[in-house]
Chains A and B, each alone.
Chain A
Amino acid sequence: MTITHHPADDTLLRHATGALNAGLALVVEAHLTGCPQCRARVAGFEALGGALMEAEKLEPLAPAAFAEVLARLDEPPPVTTAPHVPRRAMLHLPPGMKLPDVLAGCDIGRWLWFGPGVRYSQVRLPWAPEANVMLLRVAANRGVVTHSHALHELTQILHGGYSDCTGSYGPGDMAEGDELLLHQPRADAEGCLCLAALEGGLRLGGWLGRLQRRLGQ
């Protein structure tokens, strides 16, 4: 698998600082799982965070602060609440394809129809229910018009691929879009299955409302 499209540096930096919303962060994690180059980049940004922290002046803590922590060292770690049991629809996936590990704790809805050749499945993050994440599947050789008004939109290709004016995208690639991107992606002969997330409080319906099928094959 050759990865040719990576997240922008800005995006990786924001991931390293913890500033991405939970949905975008999840999609970036899906990319990082398969991309040593971006993992190294994020590790570099984290080192930058460490260096900035090291360079801080000293801000004294309350005199009792150390004793308070010392008194808690032998406490057992807090008991985590019962782990969320994800609700997963039985998704029909292309043969041999499995969903990325980063989706392990997520609820995944069934495929819903959105026009000929286009289906989506809503992904719910129990730790961030407001996150706007979905799986999107476009049938072989099918075109869609995406006119995005989201502030920031990340799409990680999981299977198959597509082409548009910005290039050809295959498994492992990440596409970034913002409010300026207007494109007409066309799925390749295998079709295209991807994981997408949006920034901002846009509703799923609002986004899909802008995703219109293109006439013809």
Chain B
Amino acid sequence: MSAVDQPSPLDAAAQARLIGLVAAARDRQAFAALFKHFAPRLKAFHLRAGLSGGAAEELAQETMLMLWRKAESFDPARAGAATWVYTITRNLRIDQARRQRGPAPQLPEEEFSPSPEAITLESEQAARMREALAVLSGEQRRVIELSFFSDTPHAAIAQVLNLPLGTVKSRIRLALVRLRDALGAD
């Protein structure tokens, strides 16, 4: 059985429902659909962040395995499914970078209860985020993307774009101002 031969966009509500099925019933069909959706995106995300093809693929697989193991901890009131998967893969990447040096840290963020501000209907938030990304200029979108796709964002961005560090910082600030509404802050 191959789960990766066809792209299959799942909307946020479907993603949340499938994760719920994995949590409640260890549903492998649901997991297959989630793998088909997220694994190729995770691999692309990590490739863009500079990992080799092999490392990006392995991290995508590890992320999906962790999704299976931690499905019970997904709380749709706290974050959208894609956001939750993003935090899993980010934490795995941090752990991976530290693995040679010692045990993984306790991540206290898992214990936070959601603040009222943080609770947004996931599908609504995903839609707002897409709209917000669309209003950014190409330049602004690029600095934001580079923030997510490089380990030492500001210095790396300055180097990649051949800009002074101060210009990069002010561009990021401007982009963040434009994203403010979508980010749910006042």
A interface residues, Cβ below 8 angstroms from B: 9-10, 13-14, 16-19, 22, 29, 32-33, 36-37, 39-41, 43-63, 65-70, 72-73, 77, 80-81, 83-84, 101-102, 104-105, 125-130
Contacts and interface: CB of A to CB of B under 8 A. Distances in A.
Nearest to B130: A51
Contacts of A67: 1
A49 B130 contact: no
Given A29-B109, A39-B115, A56-B41, A127 B98 contact: yes
Nearest to B172: A10
Main secondary structure of the interface of B (DSSP, over half): helix
Contact of B41 (A44, A54, A129): A54
A30 B104 CA distance: 18
A80 B47 CA distance: 28
A17 B153 contact: yes
A73 B42 contact: no
Interface residues of B, number: 80
Interface string B158-186: 00000000000100110010010011110
Main secondary structure of the interface of A (DSSP, over half): helix
Given A17-B153, A43-B184, A73-B68, A53 B32 contact: no
B154 A10 contact: yes
B53 to A, nearest CB: 9
Contacts of A126: 102-103
A109 to B, nearest CB: 18
Contacts of A44: 179, 182-185
Contacts of B32: 66
Contact of A50 (B4, B57, B84): B84
Looking at A46, A69, A70, which has the most chain B CB atoms within 10 Å of its CB? A69
Interface of B: 1-4, 7, 28, 31-32, 35-36, 39-45, 47-48, 56-57, 60-61, 64-65, 68-69, 78-87, 89-91, 93-94, 98, 101-106, 108-109, 112, 114-118, 125-126, 129-130, 133, 144-145, 147-148, 150-154, 169, 172-173, 176, 179, 182-185
A47 B106 contact: no
Given A10-B173, A44-B185, A104-B106, A77 B85 contact: no
Nearest to B8: A58
Contacts of A40: 115, 117-118, 184-185
A55 B101 contact: no
Contacts of B31: 73
In the A-B complex, the 8 residue pairs with the smallest Cβ-Cβ separation, listed nearest first, are A44-B183, A50-B83, A50-B82, A40-B117, A59-B44, A36-B115, A58-B40, A51-B129
A113 B106 CA distance: 31
